[in-house]
Amino acid sequence: MLYSTTMQYLGYAEKVSWYSFLALLTLAPFFFVPVASLTVPAAKMALAAILTAVAAVTAVLSILSRGSLRLPRHLLLPAAALLPLAYFVSALSTGLSRESILGSGEQDTVVAMIIFVALFFVGVVVLISDERLLAGLKAFLLGLGAMLLLQIVHLAAPSFTFGGAIIGVAGSAAGSWHDLAILAGLSLFLSLALKPTRVAENPRVRYGLYALAAVSAIFLILTNASDVWLGLTLLSILYAIYAWRYVPPQGDPGNPGAVRGVLFWIVLAILFAGLFWGGSVIQSRFPQQLQVTQLEVRPSWQGTLAIGRQVFSEASSIFFGSGPNTFTQQWGLYKPLSVNETQFWNTDFYFGVGFIPTSIVSLGAIGLVAWLIVLFALLAALRRTFTGEAQGIGRLRIALLSGAVYLTVLQILYAPGSAIAILTFVFYAFLVADEYLTKSVREINVAFSWIGARARIFSGALSVLALVVLLSGAQSARVLFSDAFVNRAIIINASRQDLPAASRAISMALLVDSKNDRAHRAAVELGILELARLANSGDQSDAARAQLQQTLSDTIRHGLAAITIEDRNYQNWLSLAYLYRELAGVGVEGAAQNARDAYGKALEDNPTNPLPYLGLAQLDLLAGSDAAGKENLAKALELKPDLAIAHYLLSQIEARAGNLQAAADAAAKAVQILPEDPLGWYNVATVLYAQANYPAAAAALERAVGLQNDYANALFLLGLTYYRLGRTDDALTVLRAVVALNPENADVRGIVAAIEAGEDPFAKGR
C-alpha cells in the first residue's frame, strides 16, 4: 500500500514538471508583475527561477521513480552543460565574488546560467513525446499572442501603465522595445513556418496563426529593428533552400505547389531585406503616436573588443577572464575617455555589444570554447537537416532549428532581456526533442537506482544537481525580490519624501537578502537624509541626541557592510566616501581621512570616473586647502572637461584668490554646460558683481530668478545690482520680494528702509 501511494505521488511529480515547463513557455513572452518596483525583466527572471526549480526537482523525482532516464545523444546537451561549468570555473579562479555567483539576478552569472541550462535539460526530458512537443509550441504561440495583445492595449492607452510596470510608449510586456521586436520577428516567422505542419492541423489554430502573423508584421514595422529584419531575411533564405531540397511525400521539386512554396519564402526574403534598408520610410507613415523611438545605448563592437584586449593583456585573465558579471567593472577600468564627453559618462554598462561577446570577455578562453561548442552543435543540427539524415522529418524541424539559430545569433549581436535568454534555451530543448522524436539522433538510456555502486553514483549525482538547481532558483528569486524592495524605497522617497516608509522598504529588502549591497547603499543615502533632518530639527533633548547617534551608527554600519559584501564595486566605495564627507563637514573626527581612503579605493576600481577626484577636491575645500582642491579639480576636468560642478568650484577658488577674470571664465563654462542651473547663474553674477560689471551681473541674476523665482539670494543680489545701476524702483520691487520670502531678516528690511528714505544702503555705518 505504501509503495503504491509513493508511486502515485512520484507520478504526480512528472506531471508537475511538465506543467511547470508548459506554464513558463506560455508566460515567458508576456509575464510581468503590475507594480513599478519589480521591472519586467526581473519579473520574468524570477518566474523562470521559480518554475525551473520546481520543474527540475519534480523531474528528478520522476526519473528516480522510473529508475531510468532516456536522453537523446545530442551534442547540444553536453555543450550546454559546459556553460555553467565554465561560468563556475571562471568565478572560482577570480575569487568567487557574490557579483559573479549571484549578482542582482543578472543573466551573466553562475546562478542564472545554471537556471537556463537546467530549463533546457528539463525541457528535453518533458518534451520527448509528439503530443507534448506540439502542445508546447501551441502554448508558446499563445503566449506570443497575449504579449502582442497587451502591447496593443498599451499603445491604445499609454497612460495605462499596468500598475507602473510598463511606463512610456516604448514600454513593453516583452521587456525593452528591442526585445519586443525580436519576439515579434520570431512570432511572424513561426506563424508562417508552422502553418504547413501538424501544429496547424486544427482550422482554428491555422486562423490564429494568420492573425498572429498579421499583428506581428505590424509590430515589426513599428519597432523597425535592423538586426531583426536581417535575421528574418536570413531565416527566409534558409527556409526557401530547405523547401526546395525537401518536399512533402506527395510532391517533388518540380510540382507547382513546391515551386509556389519556394517562391513565397524568396519573396519574403526580398521583402525583409527591403525593410532592412527602408523600414523607416514605412514607419514614418504611421500616425505620430505610433512612431515609437527608444534610445538604446550600449558599447559598440569596437568598444567591447577594446575592453576585451585590456582584460586579456594580463596572462592570468586569458583563460578565465575577469569573472562572470564583471563587464561593468572592466568598463570602469578601461572605457575610452571619449565616453566621458557624452551624457552616458556615468552609466555602468553591464553588457557589451552582445550577451555572448560579453560572456567571452568575462570568462576568457573557457567561455569562448563553451560557446563555440554550442554553436558547433547548432551547425551540426543544421547539417543533419540539410542532408540525407533528415529525410522525412517534416517542416517542423526547420522551424524549430531556425528559431534556435535566430535567438542565438541575436544573443551575439545584442544583449537582450531575460525573456530572450529564457526562450533561447527553450528552443534548444524543442530542437533536441524533435531530433530525438524523428530519430535523427540516437538514444542514451541511463539507469538510476540505489542498488549497485554505479546506479547509486548516478542517482546521487542527479539528486545533487536537482538540489543545486533548487538552491539556484531560490537564491535568484530572493535577490530579485530584495531589489524590488530597494526600488520601492527609491520610488517612495522620490515621489513623496517619506523617509520612514522608504526605510521600512529597505529593511524588508535586507530581511529578504541581507547581503544586498545595493540595499545597503540605499540605506546610507536614506541615513544621510535622516541625519540632516534630525540636525535641522533643533531638538536638543536626550531622546533626539540618542536617535541621532543611533542613526549615525546604523548609517556607517550599512556603508561598511556594502564594501564587505562587494569591495570591487566602486559605487559602494563612493557611497561610503560621501557619508564620511558629510560627517567631515560637521566636524566628526577622523571622517575626512576615512572619506579620502574610500575615494582612493573608488579610483582604483574606476579610474576613468571623475567623481572621486571631485569628492577629494570638496574635502580639500572643507579643510581650507584651495591649492590641493584646485589640483584635484584639474584631475577631474582632465577626465571630463565638461563637468559643470568642477568648473563651479574652480571659479570659487579663483575668486577667493582674487583672480576674478579666471573665476568669471570658470563660472561661464559651468553655465554653458548647465544653462538651466540657477545656482550656476548666481555664481556667475557674484563674480561679475565683484568686478563691478553690473549690467552683466544683472543679466545673469535675471536668468537665475527666471529659472527659480523664489531664489532669495539671487533676488537680494539682483536688488543690490539694480540699485548700483540706478534702477531704484526695480531694486525696491525685488528687495521687497526678498522681505516677503524672509520676513525675519532685519538686514534686508533695513536696506529697503534706507532706499525708501533716499539713503545710500552701502554707506558706512549701515
d(CA 614, CA 578): 11
d(CA 190, CA 197): 11
Query: Using 50, 70 and 90 to split pLDDT, how confident is the model at 152?
Result: very high
d(CA 125, CA 127): 6
d(CA 126, CA 115): 16
Query: Using 50, 70 and 90 to split pLDDT, how confident is the model at 450?
Result: low
527 pLDDT exceeds 80?
A: yes
In a domain, 44, yes or no: yes
Query: What is residue 674's predicted lDDT score, i.e. its pLDDT?
Result: 92
In a domain, 19, yes or no: yes
Q: Judge contact between 356 and 407, C-beta under 8 A.
A: no
In a domain, 761, yes or no: no
Query: What is residue 578's predicted lDDT score, i.e. its pLDDT?
Result: 95
Query: What is residue 4's predicted lDDT score, i.e. its pLDDT?
Result: 47
Grouping H, G, I as helix, E, B as strand and the rest as coil, residue 206 is helix
Per-residue pLDDT tens for 258-306?
566 788 899 999 999 999 888 777 777 777 666 777 777 888 898 899 9
Q: Judge contact between 712 and 702, C-beta under 8 A.
A: no
Read out DSSP for 316-343?
HHHHH-S-TT-HHHHHHHH--GGGGGST
In a domain, 84, yes or no: yes
Using the structure block, give the residue that is written with the C-alpha cell 548609517: 555
Of 404, 426, 355, the closest CA to residue 120 belongs to 426
Query: Using 50, 70 and 90 to split pLDDT, how confident is the model at 2?
Result: very low
Q: What average pLDDT score do residues 673-698 get?
A: 93
- In total, the chain counts a number of residues equal to 766
Q: Judge contact between 110 and 324, C-beta under 8 A.
A: yes
Terminal CA-CA length for the chain: 104
Per-residue pLDDT tens for 538-565?
778 888 889 989 999 999 999 999 999 9
d(CA 190, CA 140): 10
Q: Where do the DSSP E strands lie in 114-154? A: none
Tell me phi and psi for residue 445, to 5 degrees.
Answer: -120, 115
In 246-336, where does DSSP find H-type helix? 256-283, 301-312, 315-320, 327-334
Query: Using 50, 70 and 90 to split pLDDT, how confident is the model at 11?
Result: low
Q: What average pLDDT score do residues 177-184 get?
A: 94
Tell me phi and psi for residue 134, to 5 degrees.
Answer: -70, -40
Q: Judge contact between 596 and 616, C-beta under 8 A.
A: yes
d(CA 52, CA 22): 11
Query: What is residue 173's predicted lDDT score, i.e. its pLDDT?
Result: 92
Query: What is residue 499's predicted lDDT score, i.e. its pLDDT?
Result: 92
Query: What is residue 246's predicted lDDT score, i.e. its pLDDT?
Result: 63
> CA–CA distance from 403 to each of 232, 406, 502 (Å)?
10, 5, 44
Per-residue pLDDT tens for 606-639?
999 999 999 999 999 999 999 999 999 999 999 9
Per-residue pLDDT tens for 110-125?
999 999 999 999 999 9
523 residue type, one letter: A
Q: Judge contact between 307 and 331, C-beta under 8 A.
A: yes
Query: Nearest 5°: CA angle at 89, between 83 and 93?
Result: 150
In a domain, 413, yes or no: yes
Of 319, 272, 518, 536, the closest CA to residue 544 belongs to 536
Query: What is residue 452's predicted lDDT score, i.e. its pLDDT?
Result: 65
Percent of the chain at pLDDT > 70 equals 94
Average pLDDT value over all residues in the chain: 89
Query: What is residue 47's predicted lDDT score, i.e. its pLDDT?
Result: 96
Query: Using 50, 70 and 90 to split pLDDT, how confident is the model at 251?
Result: very low
Of 487, 478, 533, 538, the closest CA to residue 511 belongs to 478
Say how many domains are in the chain.
1
In a domain, 210, yes or no: yes
Per-residue pLDDT tens for 467-482?
999 999 999 999 999 9
> CA–CA distance from 558 to each of 509, 524, 530, 594 (Å)?
13, 6, 14, 15
HSE, CB side, 13 Å, CA atoms: give it for residue 681.
Answer: 23
Q: Which of 20-29, 285-294, 376-385 has the weakest average pLDDT?
A: 285-294
In a domain, 733, yes or no: no
In a domain, 715, yes or no: no
Query: Using 50, 70 and 90 to split pLDDT, how confident is the model at 3?
Result: very low
Q: Which of 261-270, 408-417, 673-682 has the weakest average pLDDT?
A: 261-270
Using the structure block, give the residue that is written with the C-alpha cell 554646460: 673
Per-residue pLDDT tens for 301-352?
988 999 999 999 888 789 999 999 999 999 999 998 888 988 888 888 889 9
d(CA 325, CA 329): 9
Q: What average pLDDT score do residues 446-450 get?
A: 69
Query: What is residue 393's predicted lDDT score, i.e. its pLDDT?
Result: 60
Quote the pTM value.
0.90
| E strand or H helix that includes residue 155 | helix 130-156
Query: What is residue 252's predicted lDDT score, i.e. its pLDDT?
Result: 46
d(CA 209, CA 195): 7
d(CA 610, CA 631): 13
The secondary structure of residue 289, as a DSSP letter, is G
Range of the domain at 283: 2-471
